[in-house]
Homo-oligomer: A and B are copies of this chain.
Amino acid sequence: MEAGRQRQGRLWSNLKEVCDLLHIPAANSIANEELLFQHVQFKTGQRIHTIGQPFDTLYIVNSGFLKTVLIDEYGNEQVLSFPMKGDMLGVDGIHTRHYSSEAVALSDCDLILLPFKKLTALGRIHLELENMMYGVMSRELVREQAMIGMLGALSAEARVARFLVALAERFAQMGYSSKLFNLRMTRHEIGSYLGLTLETVSRTLSAFNEIGLISVDQRTIGIKDSEALKTLRRLPPSRTRGKPATGKSKGGDTVPSGQLLAAL
């Protein structure tokens, strides 16, 4: 809303604003008013791009919430991410020149269009921009690596807990409250994202609520004990059998009845 200006009845952003959105330290040398990127608005439920569609532009989220999904051979959706302000969409299309995922608006959205050709050409002139591109793609990769680690190693409770913490941090850095916020996605979508069923997500939220870690009312989540959420991990504390990679938890771990919590 703050970024962008009217021009011919449309919103446009300059390079500086784009860099700010992406948290890229932009040299002011590039505050070029002639270099403008167009905005596009999407309404809730609209598709930004679909799988297989020819790729030619990247998107940056200026406002709103989305999901990106994969669709398997049986038509089942698999949620890959929940992009929000400052995130980039469409990077997966660069390789094959066709988007390999689908992006859907979970709320009314304002996106900035970045024609890929134009962007790379600009990158050769403005090195910050080039660095931005590499940086954003690398960040995305690291994020997905973390996701893989989570799916491969964590229990259902831990996944939901970390999901909430991550969301809270995103809201914080967007200037919203990190203690009380609204989920923009359904339990089903959360479950798909975390590799769980909607029932498990629902139950886990209820459990957290009872223990006092959070408060739940429909889509409204209140974070009560973010520390506990952060340190929550798999229930059977996977006590290093065999070779302790780092000899640490040798003591009996006398956590009495903490079958849900596990102190660090």
Question: Does A199 lie at the interface of the complex (its beta carbon under 8 Å from any beta carbon of B)?
Answer: no
- Looking at chain A's contact residues, the main secondary structure is helix
Are A80 and B149 in contact, CB atoms less than 8 angstroms apart? Answer: yes
Are A141 and B195 in contact, CB atoms less than 8 angstroms apart? Answer: no
Copies in the complex: 2
Are B75 and A248 in contact, CB atoms less than 8 angstroms apart? Answer: yes
- Considering the chains assembled together, what is the distance between the CA atoms of A77 and B244 in angstroms? 11
Count, chain A residues at interface, CB 8 A: 53
* Contact bitstring A244-261, B, C-beta under 8 A = 1, else 0: 111011000000000000
Chain B contacts of A133 at CB under 8 A? 134
Q: In whole Å, how far is A119's beta carbon from the nearest beta carbon of chain B?
A: 10
Question: Does A124 lie at the interface of the complex (its beta carbon under 8 Å from any beta carbon of B)?
Answer: yes
Using a CB–CB distance below 8 Å, which chain A residues touch chain B?
70, 72-78, 80, 91-96, 100-101, 120, 124, 130-131, 133-142, 144-149, 151-153, 192-195, 233, 238, 240, 244-246, 248-249, 264
